[in-house]
């Protein structure tokens, strides 16, 4: 994973595939769980502030109502005292005044900015008390009326400011709620992004050795044993890579033994086979005496059979030589279209004998190639098309650039390839079901040689779907193209 340090890479490589998946799951779960816990804490913070704001709003509103009620009670007690001259009523005024002061202390604790209002209220209440104590009753009433009017006005102004304070706190709470919502959204998005990043990183880190293993198995299936197999990743994947490399070495040894065996047995067979052919030739020349017609027919059959056997042995040697030579390319700038024209000209007698025509079209297609080996591959394609094409029909070669790869299409009008033969048509010594009438069966290695030489150049050859005739396409890496 890109975000890991080298030390973290080493620690991960020390884990098995299952343990690595568990680590990935725990990391992603920790990210998502951390985001969920943080979101819960943020919601709890907002809920607590909401509860506190609601409690303060109720307390302030109740205090404003209580202060207004105490002011009315103070005015009632004062007026009753002036009318009835009862000392208990004056004492009731004083007790109510003390209750109002306690209520003011509650509001002042929550709204310290209103201290000036409370001082003015206290001055007015103190003035009313002085009037009750020091002024004759007949002169006191006109003096008390404006005092209590100012007290009621102060209460109303305080109630309005309390409502404004409650609204301000509610607005602040809504702002804080929006901030917490944005914070939670950011946490969730960030956690999901990090989880996706970690999941992608772990997935990439785990899939990379699997892709290497798949590529290694593909190379083994293609008989490419020259590249060592080294796979990094979890320990069990590394063990699998070591086992595949052991299998590669074993298959390479078996392939080498097979090649040596084929060469040895072919050489051993060629010597007595040459003697048999020489003997048959002497018999046909009458060295041992004239042959009867039946004896001459037997000698002819022996001659044809030994010739066919020798051809098969030579084809076998040629195929193994091709597999060996395919690893030794001598590349140089080649004009593929010009190369196809030379090959068509070299085989002119073969395709003119069947009244065929060969057309080469398309782009020049210059690339870094081994001209000798690709001449063999293209020649085999043309020979195959000539062999299967009915008389008087065209054979077409088309050179084009497809998705930054150089494509060479070979199209004929023959019987085509049977669907059941499509998967094995490039296997060595495989004979397809659609064979030209009256012709001797081929060796079955022509298309195999084409595949060997094309793959050696890093390209591919495949049979394209087509009704009526065969369509083979060779693709070569276009990055090898020369200016």
107 close to 63: Cβ distance less than 8 angstroms: yes
Q: Round to whole Å and give the CA distance between 477 and 365.
A: 11
Q: What is the pLDDT of residue 48?
A: 84
Return the closest-CA partner of residue 311 out of 440, 479, 457.
440
459: phi then psi, degrees, rounded to nearest 5: -105, -165
Q: What is the pLDDT of residue 117?
A: 78
Please list, residue by residue across 200-226, b when 16 or more beta carbons sit within 10 angstroms of its beta carbon and e when fewer do. Answer: ebbeebbeebeebbeebeebbeeebbe
Measured between its terminal Cα atoms, the distance across the chain in Å is 39
Q: Round to whole Å and give the CA distance between 167 and 77.
A: 35
Query: CB under 8 Å to 378, separation ≥6 — which residues?
Result: 339, 340, 343, 397, 408
Q: What is the pLDDT of residue 437?
A: 52
Q: What is the pLDDT of residue 401?
A: 84
Q: What is the pLDDT of residue 3?
A: 44
Q: What is the pLDDT of residue 81?
A: 83
Q: What is the pLDDT of residue 398?
A: 92
Q: What is the pLDDT of residue 444?
A: 66
Q: What is the pLDDT of residue 439?
A: 47
Q: What is the pLDDT of residue 483?
A: 35
Return the closest-CA partner of residue 384 out of 340, 435, 346, 333.
435
Residues 45-67 pLDDT 10s: 778 888 888 888 888 888 888 88
Query: CB under 8 Å to 459, separation ≥6 — which residues?
Result: 405, 474, 475, 476, 477
Q: What is the pLDDT of residue 397?
A: 92
Q: What is the pLDDT of residue 43?
A: 79
Cα-based angle 132, 133, 139 (whole degrees, multiple of 5): 50
Beta bridge partners of 461: 474
CA of residue 116 relative to chain centroid, distance = 69
Beta bridge partners of 463: 472
CA distances from 121 to 55, 71, 159, 163, 297 (A): 26, 10, 13, 19, 145
One digit per residue, the tens of pLDDT, for the chain of length 483 reads 444 445 555 555 556 666 777 777 777 777 778 777 877 887 787 788 888 888 888 888 888 888 888 888 888 888 888 888 888 888 888 898 888 888 888 888 877 777 787 788 888 888 888 888 887 877 787 888 888 888 888 888 888 888 888 888 888 888 888 887 887 788 778 878 877 887 777 777 777 778 888 888 887 776 677 788 887 777 777 788 888 888 888 887 887 777 676 666 666 666 777 777 777 777 777 777 777 787 778 878 877 777 767 766 666 666 666 665 656 677 888 888 888 899 999 888 888 888 999 999 987 778 888 888 888 888 888 988 888 888 888 999 999 887 778 888 999 988 888 777 777 777 776 666 556 554 455 556 778 888 888 888 888 888 888 877 889 999 888 754 433
401: phi then psi, degrees, rounded to nearest 5: -110, 115
Q: What is the pLDDT of residue 316?
A: 66
Residues 311-346 pLDDT 10s: 666 666 666 666 656 566 778 888 888 888 999 998
């Amino acid at each position: 994973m890109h975000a890991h340090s080298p030390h973290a890479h080493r620690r991960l490589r020390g884990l098995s595939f299952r343990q690595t998946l568990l680590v990935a799951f725990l990391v992603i779960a920790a990210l998502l769980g951390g985001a969920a816990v943080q979101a819960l804490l943020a919601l709890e913070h907002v809920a607590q502030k909401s509860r506190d704001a609601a409690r303060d709003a109720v307390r302030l509103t109740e205090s404003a109502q209580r202060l207004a009620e105490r002011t009315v009670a103070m005015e009632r007690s004062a007026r009753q005292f002036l009318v009835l001259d009862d000392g208990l009523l004056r004492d009731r005024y004083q007790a109510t005044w003390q209750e109002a002061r306690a209520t003011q202390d509650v509001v002042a604790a929550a709204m310290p900015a209103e201290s000036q209002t409370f001082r003015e209220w206290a001055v007015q209440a103190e003035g009313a008390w002085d009037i009750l104590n020091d002024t004759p009753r007949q002169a006191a009433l006109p003096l008390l009326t404006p005092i209590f009017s100012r007290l009621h006005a102060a209460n109303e102004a305080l109630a309005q400011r309390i409502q404004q304070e409650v609204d301000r706190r509610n607005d602040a709470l809504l702002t804080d709620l929006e901030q917490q919502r944005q914070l939670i959204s950011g946490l969730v998005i960030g956690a999901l992004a990090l989880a996706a990043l970690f999941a992608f990183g772990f997935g990439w880190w785990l899939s990379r050795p699997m892709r290497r293993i798949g590529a290694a198995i593909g190379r083994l299936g293609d008989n490419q044993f020259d590249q060592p197999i080294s796979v990094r990743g979890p320990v069990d994947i590394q063990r699998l890579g070591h086992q595949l490399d052991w299998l590669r070495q074993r298959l390479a040894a078996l392939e080498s033994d097979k090649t040596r065996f084929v060469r040895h047995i072919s050489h051993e067979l060629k010597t007595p086979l040459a003697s048999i052919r020489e003997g048959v030739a002497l018999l046909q020349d009458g060295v041992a005496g004239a042959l009867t017609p039946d004896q001459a027919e037997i000698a002819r059959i022996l001659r044809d059979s030994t010739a066919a056997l020798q051809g098969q042995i030579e084809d076998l040697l040629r195929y193994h030589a091709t597999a060996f030579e395919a690893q030794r390319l001598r590349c140089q700038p080649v004009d593929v279209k010009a190369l196809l024209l030379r090959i068509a000209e070299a085989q002119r007698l073969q395709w003119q004998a069947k009244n065929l025509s060969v057309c080469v079209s398309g782009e020049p297609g210059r690339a870094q190639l081994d001209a000798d080996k690709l001449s063999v591959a293209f020649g085999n394609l043309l020979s195959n098309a000539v062999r299967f094409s009915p008389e008087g029909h065209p054979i077409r070669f088309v050179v084009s650039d497809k998705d930054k790869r150089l494509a060479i299409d070979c199209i004929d009008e023959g019987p085509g390839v049977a669907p059941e033969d499509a998967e094995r048509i490039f296997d060595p010594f495989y004979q397809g079901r659609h064979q030209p009438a009256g012709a001797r069966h081929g060796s079955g290695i022509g298309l195999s040689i084409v595949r060997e030489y094309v793959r050696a150049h890093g390209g591919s050859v495949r049979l394209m779907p087509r009704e009526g005739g065969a369509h083979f396409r060779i693709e070569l890496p276009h990055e090898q193209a020369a200016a």
